[in-house]
Amino acid sequence: MGAREIAPYRRVFLIYNRFAGTISRRPKLFQRAVALLRESWPSLELVPTSGVGAGTALARECLARGADLVLAAGGDGTMNEVANGLICSDVPCGLLPGGTANVLAMEVRCGGHMLRSAQQLTRAIPVEIAVGKMTGAGGADPRHFLLMAGAGVDARLVRRVDPELKRRLGKVAYWVGGLGQLGRPFPEFAVHLNGRSHRASFALISRVRNYGGDLEIALGADLLSEEFEVVLFQGSNSFTYLKYLAGIFSRRLRNMRGVHIEKARLVECTPLDSVTDVQLDGEAAGELPSRFEIVPRALRLLLPDKFLASARQRSEIELPTILRT
């Protein structure tokens, strides 16, 4: 892939979460990143979020105002909200990482470096990707996710983590919360995929390899594919997760007893005896029962050309068509 001119976007909005880790702790760095973006897109308009969940409505407002590009600055939760407002539109979106884990930025090899990401955004390429869709119980409105859904153990931690501790310690807050769960039983639930049923205490339904910013669990997942990589962890004994964690670090989960890994386009999870939490892209998203399915070509996402070139080299799947700008 050769050199590429900066895309001529004329109505650019940056929806930002001012409470996100990097943005709140290093406001001058955020201002420098905005200045870099404005060198390429002078019309860039800043739109602050007002609280959790506001990003989706703001993205739709940007569409109504004629946006031809919407960026999200914050963590994966902010990106999820903005993407939900742009699903099935013709307007691409991009991420300026400033959150706790920055899973999407790590997945596309931007890391959590805000200035580097700003530079890459101005040369990034819009690609139509599939996303996940969760439908909950009781006819609740569906919610889409870019990265992953989790049911059971990890969603329980997401719901219970102390927001102030998360703000001060970042990812360490989740490790603290996880250690606090040792010795407590983890309830199992039923998972249905590809015509078979399984039991699990943690189901990871993933579109990406990266998990939490510095771990990789779903090693066969691909953001550019139209499948989930589903990783199921069995057992209610919390100490078993120390073995699973060792398998994650050693990259040997696939052959580990109690772990089941499978590709799927549709996954249904049903509680058995206990309430079971769900998380989407690192944010609490209710409880089971839930249905998770792939929605092909649902979102136009700005991706670095180096990431796409690498994907072509390593992948046997047919990659999505690069869009013209």
Sequence-distant (≥ 6) Cβ neighbours of residue 316 within 8 angstroms = none
- What average pLDDT does range 301-307 have in this prediction? 91
- What average pLDDT does range 299-325 have in this prediction? 70
pLDDT tops 70 at residue 162: no
Domain segments of the chain as ranges: 12-123, 133-295
Whole-angstrom Cα distance, residue 150 to residue 147? 10
Q: Which fold is adopted by the domain 133-295?
A: Tumour Suppressor Smad4 (2.60.200)
Given the structure tokens 């650019």, which residue do they identify? 12
pLDDT at 198: 97
- What average pLDDT does range 135-147 have in this prediction? 82
pLDDT at 180: 53
- The architecture that CATH gives domain 12-123 is 3-Layer(aba) Sandwich (3.40)
pLDDT at 83: 96
Higher pLDDT, 284 or 316: 284
pLDDT at 241: 87
Higher pLDDT, 153 or 14: 14
pLDDT at 60: 97
Higher pLDDT, 166 or 68: 68
pLDDT at 101: 76
Distance of alpha carbon 149 from its chain centroid, rounded?
8
DSSP letter at 272 equals S
pLDDT at 282: 86
pTM > 0.85: yes or no: yes
- What average pLDDT does range 257-265 have in this prediction? 97
Torsion of CA 185, 102, 167, 239, to 10 degrees: 20
What does 116-166 look like in DSSP terms, one character per residue? Answer: HHHHHHTT-EEEEEEEEEEEEGGGPPPEEESSEEEEEHHHHHHHHS-HHHH
pLDDT at 236: 92
**CB 42, CB 16: distance < 8 Å:** no
Measure the CA angle with vertex 11, ends 5 and 13; round to 5°: 100
pLDDT digits (tens, 9 = 90+) for 21-50: 788 888 899 999 999 999 999 999 999 998
pLDDT digits (tens, 9 = 90+) for 170-211: 554 444 455 556 657 889 999 999 999 999 999 999 999 998
